């Protein structure tokens, strides 16, 4: 199980066999890969506070919450753009929601992007608004790249993020608080910078491939001896 929350859920379901919990992990030397320097210019987002997410456009990802937060932020008259990368069955309904809130100029559905890391690396904030999660790799990647993260307080995200230290957590039904959290990152760059430093430290301390693959190897060793 990639989170304690998921392990507890599996125990409640009385899954057969022993359940162990090992967090997802990444290479701490992760880099954005391809040249990211022109991404903002190409997308016309050089002078905005750029908020983004990367997720399947399905109900559990709760994308409407991010869209409604965008409406609230627009009313604060800050230069913001929200980019939603990913595809799925809700794309059409999400586009209609964006249009109904008159947010066509502030929110873009970009579709699936295979080379997402250079884009995430350019975000001013990375957001995940899921109703439930195991432990998303996109979250660990954003933290490793030093992008401030704002996530709903669910699943493994609530275990990885220490609120106010290495990221910000909000309830999964509170677009207002999500907007306020994003506004705090826009208004005070020192908050964002502290989250960045602590997030990268957390990844290097607890969520590296070397550390967690070692745990897995130790477990297999115990099974065979």
**Residue 36 pLDDT level (bands cut at 50, 70, 90):** low
Confidence class for position 50, pLDDT limits 50, 70, 90: very high
Q: Residue 166 is encoded by which pair of tokens?
A: 């290495």
Each residue's pLDDT tens digit, 156-187: 999 999 999 999 999 999 999 999 999 999 99
Asked if 172 and 131 count as a contact pair (C-beta separation under 8 A), the reply is yes
Query: Does the pLDDT of residue 221 top 90, yes or no?
Result: no
Q: Is 92 exposed, middle or buried (0-12, 13-18, 19+ CB in 10 A)?
A: exposed
Strand order in the sheet with 107-111: 107-111, 80-85, 49-54, 125-128, 149-152, 168-170
Strands 80-85 and 107-111: parallel
Residue 35 has pLDDT above 70, yes or no: no
Q: Percentage of the chain with pLDDT > 70? A: 98
Instruction: Give the pLDDT confidence score for residue 218 in this predicted structure.
Output: 84
How many helices (H) does the chain have, and how many strands (E)?
Answer: 10, 6
Q: At what angle do helices 63-75 and 91-100 cross, to 10 degrees?
A: 20
The arithmetic mean of pLDDT across residues 69-84, rounded, is 95
User: What is the per-residue pLDDT for 37?
Assistant: 65
């Amino acid at each position: 199980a990639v989170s304690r929350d998921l392990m507890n859920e599996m125990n409640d379901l009385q899954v057969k066999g022993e359940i162990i919990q090992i967090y997802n992990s990444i290479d701490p030397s992760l880099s954005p890969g391809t040249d990211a320097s022109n991404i903002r210019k190409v997308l016309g987002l050089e002078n905005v506070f750029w908020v983004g997410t990367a997720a399947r456009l399905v109900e559990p990802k709760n994308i409407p919450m991010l869209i409604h937060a965008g409406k609230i932020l627009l009313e604060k008259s800050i230069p913001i753009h929200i980019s939603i990368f990913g595809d799925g069955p809700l794309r059409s309904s999400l586009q209609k929601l964006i249009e109904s809130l008159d947010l066509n100029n502030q929110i873009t559905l970009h579709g699936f992007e295979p080379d997402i890391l250079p884009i995430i690396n350019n975000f001013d904030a990375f957001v995940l608004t899921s109703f439930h999660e195991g432990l998303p790799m996109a979250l660990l990647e954003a933290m490793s790249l030093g992008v401030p993260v704002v996530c709903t307080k669910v699943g493994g995200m609530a275990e990885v993020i220490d609120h106010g230290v290495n990221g910000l957590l909000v309830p999964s039904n509170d677009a207002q608080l999500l907007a306020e959290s994003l506004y705090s990152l826009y208004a005070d760059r020192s908050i964002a910078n502290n989250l960045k430093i602590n997030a990268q430290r957390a990844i290097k301390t607890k969520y590296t491939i070397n550390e967690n693959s070692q745990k897995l190897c130790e477990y297999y060793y115990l099974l065979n001896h």
